[in-house]
């Protein structure tokens, strides 16, 4: 259903019948000039200047009054979630009402004249006239909202739409201003379009912002293709558009002919020039509301499964006309629909279609479970059932690393580590140090090159940690510490948290054979810095790593 605040015609209710024209289903006579509408579930909120109405639209043919609120200002715009209605109340700031009956809850002053409002993620974004954008924290309602951010636009802000972490502001003679709000307390300019004569209203559909101006023009701004070459400059995406649906416009002759003050997107034929005359829903319209509902989400089969990682897939099959925030819950036990019963919860942000969550640090040959949850302002939805998958067996690992200068000969069967910072070495493995460690040595003393070369794990008060990326599991390790030409090292070293002690601190070499378990996708080697076995001038020669014959 489409709910249109139709000026002197009150609230008009239409049903989109694509590809047929929309069909009239009902109306409610407000008795004043209906300026804007918002819908939450079966309740419509209509701004009529001095009065705001809450209307039961569960039966479109016979909408019924639930309650009303007399404004001390002038109600220009409204928004709604599952509990509250939000009124851009002109000079009266923002008034928050109970959705059920329009009784007042709390009000908050704004710096300018509140013309438009949008609500998302526990925040209210207010188009505040000459004061630009004002951002309020509404997460603690019914407590008084607090102002947490503001952005001064060049024109007069009349309407606002939210697309992910960006806010699109219809800024009157200032055109359209797009603001980045990943940190709401620090909004920053992303882009601006001054091509329009006077932008008055915005709407959002399928990640596109549709902007109406008072010349009857319509600009389509693709949120997935924001300008990137000059993000602080002008952009121009108006004119021909290519969307799968019709655009329904709310126009008015209250100011002047061919003035478009609000816009609702339904179905738009491909590749056409949009103009007011061709796609006007009805004359004398002002604001439009879309019925919003809770979303629907499903799981999809996991993919890219390895011994220690996987991609968890899902899809928002119905966004309820408001893209929800999606969280993927997962673990090695099925937590059902109780968040606290899951081991992990990955919130992956606002989603409107297919989505995925890449997870890692898994155990091999283990069954894992996952379930998606999506929530918007109208409510939440769990996927109907829990999905599961099995990680693969641990691939056999047999890698040998020799620590040496870059110009030295590499022992047969070994890969060289020359002191570089951790990274992809281009030989099938990623390994290295926590920072450049160029204290390598080739002594030219020992006939076995593995024992003749080394790198300092400690030198001149610096301590270095070495890591190699390998799948989680158990590994048999042979590692040699020391120096063929010196005995000035005490090689107390930890490998995956297991302390390898230097028994006397006097020999040239310390050889260790140990089995350790990797649980974070990396095997880690570091000098022990805690008493009583504190390393001193520790040096490493080589390390052999092989999948443990005993499994794990």
Q: What is the per-residue pLDDT for 242?
A: 27
d(C-alpha 425, C-alpha 384), whole Å: 44
Query: Which positions ≥6 away from 242 have C-beta within 8 Å?
Result: 270, 271
Tell me how far the alpha carbon of residue 13 is from its chain's centroid.
34
CA distance 181 to 133: 11
Higher-pLDDT residue of 282, 501: 501
pLDDT in tens, 121-143: 899 999 998 999 999 999 999 99
Does pLDDT of 201 surpass 90? no
Q: How far apart are the first and last CA of the chain?
A: 58
**Which domains are delineated in the chain?**
2-290 (2.130.10.10), 296-390 (2.60.40.10), 398-547 (2.60.120.430)
List 86's β-bridge partners, or say none.
79, 96
Cα dihedral value 541, 545, 550, 552, nearest 10: 110
* pTM exceeding 0.85: no
CB 478 within 8 A of CB 513: yes
Question: Are the CB atoms for 137 and 122 separated by under 8 Å?
Answer: yes
φ/ψ of residue 304, rounded to 5: 50, 45
Q: Which residue pairs, CB below 8 angstroms and at least 24 apart, start in 162-166?
A: 162/118, 162/120, 162/125, 162/204, 163/204, 163/207, 163/209, 163/223, 164/207, 164/223, 164/349, 164/350, 166/190, 166/223, 166/226
**Mean pLDDT score of the chain, rounded to an integer?**
82
Q: Write out pLDDT tens, residues 213-244.
A: 544 444 444 444 444 433 333 333 332 222 23
**Would you say residue 208 has pLDDT above 90?**
no
For residues 20-41, give the mean pLDDT. 79
- Counting residues of the chain whose pLDDT is more than 70, the rounded percentage is 79
Check whether 267 has a pLDDT greater than 60. Answer: no
Residue 185 has pLDDT above 70, yes or no: yes
Top-confidence residue, 308 or 274 = 308
What DSSP element (H or E) covers 449?
helix 449-452
């Amino acid at each position: 259903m489409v709910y249109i605040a139709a000026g002197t015609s009150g609230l008009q209710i239409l049903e989109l019948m694509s590809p047929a024209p929309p069909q009239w289903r009902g109306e409610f006579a407000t008795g004043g000039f209906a300026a804007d509408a918002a819908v939450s579930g079966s309740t419509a909120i209509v701004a009529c200047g001095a009065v705001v109405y809450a209307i039961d639209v569960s039966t479109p043919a016979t909408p019924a009054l639930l309650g009303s609120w007399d404004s001390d200002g002038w109600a220009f715009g409204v928004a709604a979630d599952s509990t509250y209605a939000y009124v851009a109340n002109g000079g009266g700031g923002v008034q928050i009402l109970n959705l059920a009956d329009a009784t007042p809850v709390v009000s908050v002053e704004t710096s300018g004249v509140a013309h438009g409002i949008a609500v998302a993620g526990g925040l209210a974004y207010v188009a505040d006239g000459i004061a630009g954008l004002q951002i309020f924290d509404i997460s603690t309602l019914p407590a008084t909202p607090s102002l947490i951010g503001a952005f001064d636009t060049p024109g007069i802000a009349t309407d606002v739409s939210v697309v992910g972490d960006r806010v699109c502001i219809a800024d009157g003679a200032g055109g359209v201003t797009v603001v980045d709000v990943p940190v709401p307390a620090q909004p920053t300019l992303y882009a601006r379009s001054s091509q329009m004569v006077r932008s008055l209203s915005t709407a959002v559909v399928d990640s596109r912002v549709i902007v109406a101006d008072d010349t009857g023009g319509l600009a389509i701004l693709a949120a997935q293709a924001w300008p990137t070459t000059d993000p602080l400059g002008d952009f121009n995406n108006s004119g021909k558009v290519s969307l799968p649906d019709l655009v329904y416009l709310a126009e008015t002759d209250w100011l002047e002919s061919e003035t478009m003050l609000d816009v609702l997107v339904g179905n738009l034929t491909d590749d056409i020039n949009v103009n007011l005359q061709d796609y006007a829903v009805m004359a004398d319209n002002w604001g439009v509301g879309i019925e919003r509902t809770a979303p629907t989400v499903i799981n999809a089969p996991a993919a890219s499964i390895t011994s220690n990682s996987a991609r968890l897939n899902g899809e928002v099959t119905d966004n309820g006309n408001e893209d929800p925030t999606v969280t993927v819950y997962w673990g090695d036990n099925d937590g059902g629909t109780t968040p606290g019963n899951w081991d992990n919860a990955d919130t992956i942000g606002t989603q409107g279609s297919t989505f995925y969550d890449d997870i890692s640090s898994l155990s091999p040959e283990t069954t894992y479970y996952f379930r998606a949850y999506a929530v918007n302002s109208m409510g939440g939805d769990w996927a109907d059932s829990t999905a599961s998958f099995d990680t693969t067996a641990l691939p056999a690992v047999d890698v040998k690393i020799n620590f040496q200068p870059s110009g030295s000969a590499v022992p047969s069967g070994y890969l060289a580590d020359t002191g570089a910072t951790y990274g992809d070495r281009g030989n099938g493995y990623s390994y290295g140090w926590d920072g450049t460690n160029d204290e390598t040595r080739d002594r030219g003393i020992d006939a076995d090159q593995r024992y003749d070369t080394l790198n300092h794990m400690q030198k001149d008060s610096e301590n270095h940690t070495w890591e190699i990326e390998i799948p989680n599991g158990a590994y048999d390790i042979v590692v040699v510490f020391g120096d063929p030409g010196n005995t000035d090292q005490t090689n107390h070293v930890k490998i995956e948290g297991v302390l390898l002690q230097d028994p006397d601190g006097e020999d040239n070499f310390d050889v260790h054979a140990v089995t350790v378990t990797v649980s974070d996708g990396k095997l880690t080697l570091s000098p022990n810095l805690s008493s009583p076995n504190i390393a001193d001038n520790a040096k490493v020669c080589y390390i052999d790593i092989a999948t443990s014959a005993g499994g794990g």
